[in-house]
């Protein structure tokens, strides 16, 4: 982002990301959870937290994206931050693990099904979502003739989610 974004937009993206994480932290604290560590890397921020119930984890996972979408009410006064927060929130709400939407989907399904069935269901939803993203990108690139640049976001999303190691034992103890 340093090479492509003007400094004002880079600052807005950083503020939106910090606000997103603060919303997660507030929800974790309201659910009486403990935060052990905050890791910030090129892949984003991760919070190591104490074990929460599925309903508490669902609330905490959705707090970041929903908090970002609440900034839409301030668009008139902080337009750059609002745009960055909205895009970040919509991306994070995708039902793909380890994104917040994937974690929230897993928690919601786990409250209804056993762990193995919840895992299989979420993997199916994730596969359908990724396939839809790729098909939309191909449609935009070749049918609508928008160019192959439409494929890059799809490649980034698929690459970020499918070719990344995620430790299954820590699934319930990390929020992005």
All structural domains of the chain with their residue ranges: 1-93, 95-167
Q: Tell me the C-alpha to C-alpha distance, in Å, between residue 126 and each of 23, 106, 120, 161, 166.
A: 25, 11, 10, 10, 15
Structure tokens at 164: 């990344």
3-class state of residue 37 by DSSP: strand
Is 60 exceeded by the pLDDT of residue 1?
Answer: no
- The whole-number pLDDT of residue 173 equals 56
pLDDT in tens, 90-118: 999 999 988 899 999 999 999 999 999 99
- The whole-number pLDDT of residue 25 equals 94
Give the chain's count of helices (H) and strands (E): 6, 3
- The whole-number pLDDT of residue 156 equals 81
pLDDT in tens, 74-83: 999 999 999 9
CA distance 29 to 151: 39
pLDDT in tens, 115-157: 999 999 999 999 999 989 989 999 888 888 888 887 888 888 7
Is 70 exceeded by the pLDDT of residue 171?
Answer: no
pLDDT in tens, 56-72: 999 999 999 999 999 99
| DSSP 8-state class, residue 99 | S
- The whole-number pLDDT of residue 169 equals 39
The pTM assigned to this predicted structure is 0.82
Q: Is there a contact between 143 and 86 (Cβ–Cβ < 8 Å)?
A: no
pLDDT in tens, 34-60: 888 888 877 778 888 888 999 999 999
């Amino acid at each position: 982002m340093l090479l492509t974004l003007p400094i004002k937009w880079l600052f807005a993206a950083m503020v939106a990301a910090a606000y997103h994480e603060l919303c997660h932290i507030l929800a974790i604290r309201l659910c009486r959870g403990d935060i052990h560590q905050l890791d910030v890397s090129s892949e984003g921020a991760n919070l190591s937290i104490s074990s929460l119930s599925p309903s508490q984890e669902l609330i905490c996972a959705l707090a970041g994206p929903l908090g970002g979408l609440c900034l839409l009410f301030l668009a008139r006064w902080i337009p750059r931050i609002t745009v960055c927060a909205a895009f970040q929130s919509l991306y994070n709400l995708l039902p793909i693990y380890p994104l917040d939407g994937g974690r929230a989907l897993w928690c919601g399904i786990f409250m209804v099904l056993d762990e193995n069935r919840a895992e299989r269901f979420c993997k199916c939803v994730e596969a359908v979502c990724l396939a839809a993203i790729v098909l939309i990108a191909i449609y935009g690139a070749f049918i609508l003739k928008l160019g192959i640049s439409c494929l890059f976001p799809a490649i980034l999303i698929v690459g970020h989610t499918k070719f990344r190691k995620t430790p299954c034992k820590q699934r319930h103890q990390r929020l992005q």
